[in-house]
Amino acid sequence: MEREILDMRHTISALVLNQPGVLARVAGLFSGRGFNIESLCVAETLDPSVSRMTIVTRGNDQVIEQITKQLNKLVDIIKVVDFFGSEYVDREMILIKVTAESSSRAEILRITDIFRGKIVDVTPKSYTIEVSGDENKIRAIIDLLKPMGIKEVVRTGRVAISRGSKGI
Amino acid sequence: MKKTGAQILLESLQLEGVDTIFGFPGGAVIGIYDALLNSPIRHILVRHEQAAVHAADGYARSSGKVGVCLVTSGPGATNTVTGIATAYMDSIPVVVLTGQVSTGLIGNDAFQEADIMGITRPCTKHSYLVKDVKELARTIKEAFYIAGTGRPGPVLVDLPKDVIADSAEFNYPESVNMQSYNPTYRGHRGQIQKAFKLILKANRPLIYAGGGVISSDASEELTAFARTLSIPVTATLMGLGCFPGVDDLSLGMLGMHGTYRANMAVTNCDLLIAVGARFDDRVTGKIDGFAPNAKIIHIDIDPTSISKNIRVHIPIVGDAKDVLKKINKLIQEEKEDWTSIRREWLDQILKWKNTYPLAYEQKDVIKPQYVVEKIYEITKGDAIISTEVGQNQMWTAQYYHFTKPRTLLTSGGLGTMGYGFPAAIGAQIAFPEKTVIDIAGDGSIQMNIQELATVAQYNLPVKIAILNNRYLGMVRQWQGLFHNKRYSQTPLEVSPDFIKLAEAYGAVGLRATKPEEVVPTIEKALSISKAVIMDFVVEREEDVYPMVPVGAPLKEMLLV
Ligand SMILES: Cc1ncc(C[n+]2csc(CCOP(=O)(O)OP(=O)(O)O)c2C)c(N)n1
Ligand SMILES: [Mg+2]
């Protein structure tokens, strides 16, 4: 069996009981065992007693195997799926507050349009833009807006879902 | 009819088969203590909450049942942390009931409030804060279920004072239904088949047995497996007793202070069959040097233990008992003369045994090994032995030949000084008729010495054998070997007179200073139906050998 010894980024989805303390258990597991978290999103599923977490982490095969096993071992975790190597869609939303002087307002609007973003707040000196997309798209819009002067950025972290008709 | 939370708690415990709990009262749990007066459950009043957990742990290890302890909020709860971590590291089923401030006060830095769930999250298998008395019965049911099934471990239940006082209808659930917790007991047939084929082909197979064999009550199956195929067995500290230590196939313990033959067998085997063990660093030494020529089969109920430290070739997730049963069934079909097939391998192991047997020389001063050996001989291996931590622990592992499971209680994973005495109390409560001996160091025994009051109060005939070297001996040994004998803070310049101390608590104290006094002292102690401290004044600078230095491969043992 070929094993990946390089650190790779993995997107892991977990169904967890919607109970206080679950997030602390997951966070504690990562910090206590020295695993890294690049992002973590949690929210309720259609069943209010169950939440779904999307965790983006990085590690070699052995580390990732431990992470998924350790997550599975937590009593409050129902199911764990590592999307690595499978077909899935991931998205992230970002809110960007960018300096918008009269000279640059048109350009910013055009960029926002190209990225199918929305202006969600306007002041005489700034625009706040909402964009969602995969990592490349988010990075691209940030790069394009940087020269205008970005004041603030807030990202949701990634959520992911498998392609095809089956749920996890 | 409605019942109070306290009543519900105690009746739930009874329905779980609990007849004894270990604890220490306080304001947050005063309601439970009041209800205890009307309950048939026996409460053992310890003198420190750490000891309550260790005692519940010793009760659990010796009996196989879930141990239970009860403490108050705040300092009562924080005092349990070392006990909980000890049980967690060794996978011992314990339910820890902690008082908590009333729900309305939680988070307010109320008097005697501690976030004990938060503090113990990394060292519990699971934990609960009961916020509604209606949830109490189900929570207790789940706590016992989680503690005792799968890979066992401590479960903490935090009980706010108002929840205990509140009332509800009491319906104890018959069964547990948890969608998120479902340990795998049955080993995968295909994997077992693969393992079986490998076992038949191996020339130099070796069984490496851990505490999982004991917690799954699989000793019989393991013994049958080893004997039928003539496969030698080495055990971890936690596994000692799961295979008769006096059997010709027994190699004793492996690892840092393992026997020469065990470590050489690991290094040279071509198939390592790990059962209920987790490749701890004290066992493996340098990973690359551990079983370098072997295929590895790993049977364990906890998937996270498999391929954590070392890649294994055939993982089998499941209960050791179930898996070994299935393997044994397959073996029955193979009618080979295994003893002659193994001749060469077993002869080699015998050679290793004869080259460097465990040895010491008893001269004028009492050797600690001699004391342990005599305790073994006099008890005929039929006692429950607990240990403290340090040299005393390692000499016990080496010189007391454990022949039955659940007869050694020792803190393997956490290495907790102060564990042995309260654990012995727990075992003595579980087995009032048995001889229970804590083989102790002069340092460790002082970490829970206050429990002498507990043994006095309940007339527990627990015996303590102090291997008194007036050192924190194991640390001194390391300083001797790796720090140019710079004995920084390891000489115990002052200790109490243990004889007088025993007497002050109403126990008996006996001292032996010469080798010829060792046997009479042990015999006398065992004839007394009270607690006895035996103070063996031993060779001060005796070291534990063999020893594999940290980071070295197993074959590089320092020998005497
Ligand atoms: C609570 C705790 N503190 C510190 C240690 C580190 N430690 C390991 S062995 C040891 C010495 C124990 O001395 P003693 O009980 O006299 O046993 P000996 O080694 O002399 O037999 C120490 C301090 C430990 N294991 N546990
Ligand atoms: Mg000592």
Q: What is the pLDDT of residues A18-44, one digit of tens each?
A: 998 999 999 999 999 999 999 999 999
Six token digits for residue B404: 């039955």
pLDDT greater than 50 at residue B47: yes
pLDDT in tens, B291-335: 999 999 999 999 999 989 999 999 999 999 999 999 999 998 888
Number of residues in chain B: 560
Q: Is B463 a catalytic residue?
A: no
Report chain A's mean pLDDT, rounded to a whole number.
Answer: 94
Alpha-carbon span B169 to B175, nearest angstrom: 18
Collect all residues of chain A within an 8 Å Cβ-Cβ radius of residue B122.
28, 32
Q: Does A72 touch chain B (CB under 8 A)?
A: yes
Q: Is A75 in Cβ contact with B181 (below 8 Å)?
A: yes
Report chain B's mean pLDDT, rounded to a whole number.
Answer: 97
Alpha-carbon span B551 to B287, nearest angstrom: 8
- The partner residue sitting opposite B121, judged by closest CB among A24, A65, A70, is A24
A105: left (phi over 0), alpha (psi -120 to 50) or beta: alpha
In 10 A of CB B275, how many CB atoms?
Answer: 28
* Ligand 1 centroid from CA B445, angstroms: 10
Question: Given pLDDT bands bounded at 50, 70 and 90, which one contains residue A167?
Answer: confident
The 8-class DSSP code of residue B559 comes to -
pLDDT greater than 60 at residue B164: yes
pLDDT greater than 80 at residue B245: yes
Ligand 1 atom nearest to B388, measured from its CA: 15
Pocket of ligand 1 (CB under 6 A): B 388-392, 415-417, 441-444, 467, 469, 471-475
pLDDT in tens, A47-76: 999 999 999 999 999 999 999 999 999 999
Six token digits for residue B493: 């310049």
Q: State percent of chain A over pLDDT 90.
A: 93
pLDDT in tens, B74-108: 999 999 999 999 999 999 999 999 999 999 999 99
SS3 per residue for B323-354: HHHHHHHHHHCCCCCHHHHHHHHHHHHHHHHH
Q: State percent of chain B over pLDDT 90.
A: 98
Collect all residues of chain B within an 8 Å Cβ-Cβ radius of residue A28.
121-122
Does residue A126 sit in helix, strand or coil?
strand
Alpha-carbon span A11 to B79, nearest angstrom: 40
Q: What confidence score (pLDDT) does residue A168 get?
A: 84
* Ligand 1 centroid from CA B389, angstroms: 5
pLDDT greater than 70 at residue B542: yes
Q: What number is the ipTM of this complex? A: 0.90
Q: What is the pTM of this model?
A: 0.96
In 10 A of CB B240, how many CB atoms?
Answer: 29
pLDDT greater than 70 at residue B347: yes
Does residue B190 sit in helix, strand or coil?
helix
pLDDT in tens, B121-133: 999 999 999 999 9
Average pLDDT over residues B486-494: 97
CA distances from A41 to A13, A55, A63 (A): 10, 7, 21
CB–CB of B431/B423 below 8 Å? no
Q: What confidence score (pLDDT) does residue A5 get?
A: 76
Nearest to A57 by CA among A83, A25, A86, A21: A83
Alpha helices in B70-135 (DSSP H): 75-78, 81-89, 116-120
Q: Within its chain, how far is the Cα of B151 from the centroid?
A: 14
Alpha-carbon span A101 to A108, nearest angstrom: 10
**Residue B545 CB contacts under 8 Å (≥ 6 apart), including other chains:** B257, B557, B558, B559, B560
Alpha-carbon span B129 to B347, nearest angstrom: 58
Average pLDDT over residues B177-199: 95
In 10 A of CB B163, how many CB atoms?
Answer: 26
Ligand 1 atom nearest to B416, measured from its CA: 26
Element containing residue A153 per DSSP (H, E): strand A150-155
Alpha-carbon span B260 to B357, nearest angstrom: 7
Alpha helices in B308-449 (DSSP H): 320-332, 338-355, 368-379, 391-399, 420-430
Candidates B264, B474, B534, B557; catalytic one: B474
Candidates B11, B16, B49, B113; catalytic one: B49
The phi, psi pair for B555, rounded to 5°, reads -75, -15
Collect all residues of chain A within an 8 Å Cβ-Cβ radius of residue B157.
none
Q: What confidence score (pLDDT) does residue B335 get?
A: 83
pLDDT in tens, B279-290: 999 999 999 999
Candidates B14, B112, B193, B457; catalytic one: B112
Q: What confidence score (pLDDT) does residue A1 get?
A: 42
Q: Does B308 touch chain A (CB under 8 A)?
A: yes
Average pLDDT over residues B30-44: 98
Residue with token string 């048939």:
B40
Q: Is B112 a catalytic residue?
A: yes
pLDDT greater than 90 at residue B494: yes
Six token digits for residue B503: 């007497």
Q: What confidence score (pLDDT) does residue A3 get?
A: 57
Alpha-carbon span B443 to B495, nearest angstrom: 8
Residue of A nearest to B117 (CA): A21
Is the omega angle on the peptide bond into residue B546 within 30 degrees of 0, that is, cis? Answer: yes
